[in-house]
Amino acid sequence: MKILVMASTIDLKNKLGCTPAWWQLLKALYETGNEITVIPYLGIPVESLWWKTYDNPCARESIIYNSFLESRKRGGKSPGQKTLVTPIANQIIKHYIKPKWERHLLRILEKEAGFDLVFLMSIPLNHINGIPSRIRKEFGIPVVYYDGDMPTILPKYTVSRGFKFNYYEGADPSEYDAFFTNSKGVIPDLQEMGAKNVHALYYGIDPDLVTPIEIKKDIDISFFGYGSDFREEWMEKMITIPSREMPDVSFSVAGGNFAMDLGKAKMIGDLSYSQWRQFCCRSKINLNITRWSHTNIYASSTSRPFELAAFGSCIVSQPYNGIEEWFDIGKDLFVINSAEQAIETYRRLLANKEEREKAGRNARARVLKEHTFKHRAVDLINVIQSLKGKNQ
């Protein structure tokens, strides 16, 4: 299948959280026999061994706009907060950005025959209203959408989560032949908004990339993440309180933007991808602490549990609604329900190397069997194949 992909970005320097997953999914699509062409919505194209690219027709504009949104976010302005610039920006998007993208996509489809699918990945829906319908009308090609930011990108969560802007405001999800989401629990919300043929497409791992390494385990308990917002409760129960109650145990926290007291945990700072792998593999216990929207809305996947499992980590997680969709609790990982239970679980696991290693082996075997991005690529293509001929 020949696929034209429009991705939020493919440049890791832009620091969008989904980008590493996009690389792995696109690589998996290539490795399962598909021909991939990618255009980034933000920033410049990045070539790889697995896809070719076309230029972003609005590369400079996207970088300027992203910088503007970043400055608003740093200034504490929520996505729903209108300013004097808002109507001007909306008019520029409607009358300049959207037409420029529309012309660019149509030229590519005219120039290069044989595309079977246009696949959009976390593009601002309300910036491209009407383009999917025109592509379908003129070329008979299905257009599908994948949102990897669910549930926090939904209008009901966007402001509290702090996203740069709400790209569902004024959008028309019904334009797409299929709609994929990383969260099974939001499918009814999307259907209510008009999306059709909605499917859960969870995160996963590339087993060639996310592999364990043999290294001395000199950290007892570790956590890596960006920001404490909306996970303060479980960071306190799983890090702050236990680190004070267990002075003989080493707690290490990597990442940044933690606006809370983390007790006696050692702060490591930000890590590169390769350093993060070492950090996880150095740890006897790795914590999965996720923001409340993901843990409360059923089966809202994030990358972290799959990545930790692929490293063969012994994982201890906060309560996570739907985690049993991916792992067996008590076999592949452990779930605690209080600070007291966290301390008890940490003590037991730290005293039992065999139990830790067995759980890590189980978790890794589970992701290799069921949760690689090749599994996700096959699921995606199976849905697309079911659309074949509907738009002819």
Provide the H-helix boundaries in 98-151: 98-111, 131-139
2-204+374-387 is classed CATH 3.30.930.10: no
- Supply the pTM of this predicted model: 0.93
Helix (H) or strand (E) holding 263: none
DSSP class of 40: E
Instruction: Give the three-state DSSP class for 269.
Output: strand
What pLDDT does residue 328 have? 98
**Is there a contact between 319 and 222 (Cβ–Cβ < 8 Å)?**
no
How many Cα neighbours within 13 Å face the side chain of 306?
Answer: 26
**Domain locations along the chain:** 2-204+374-387, 219-371
Amino acid, res. 83: T
Peptide bond into 242 cis (omega under 30): no
What pLDDT does residue 82 have? 62
What pLDDT does residue 121 have? 97
DSSP class of 122: S
State the Cα–Cα distance between residues 175 and 130, nearest whole angstrom.
8
What pLDDT does residue 160 have? 47
Which CATH number, 2.60.40.1180, 3.40.50.2000, 3.40.50.800, 3.30.1490.20, labels domain 219-371?
Answer: 3.40.50.2000
State the Cα–Cα distance between residues 61 and 43, nearest whole angstrom.
9
State the Cα–Cα distance between residues 386 and 388, nearest whole angstrom.
6
What pLDDT does residue 81 have? 60
What pLDDT does residue 348 have? 98
Among residues 119, 117, 191, 170, the alpha carbon closest in space to that of 148 is found at 119
Distance of CA 346 to the CA centre of its chain: 28
What pLDDT does residue 76 have? 60
Instruction: Give the three-state DSSP class for 94.
Output: helix
What pLDDT does residue 392 have? 46
Per-residue pLDDT tens for 270-279? 998 789 999 9
What pLDDT does residue 288 have? 98
Instruction: Give the three-state DSSP class for 336.
Output: coil
Q: Strands, DSSP E only, in the chain?
A: 2-7, 35-40, 52-53, 117-121, 143-147, 178-181, 198-200, 219-226, 251-256, 266-269, 283-288, 315-317, 334-335
What count of other Cβ atoms lies within 10 Å of the Cβ of residue 152?
Answer: 21
Residue with token string 């659309």: 387
Joined tokens for residue 56: 């972003």
Low-confidence ranges of the chain (pLDDT < 50): 160-162, 391-392
Note whether 2-204+374-387 and 219-371 share their fold.
Answer: yes
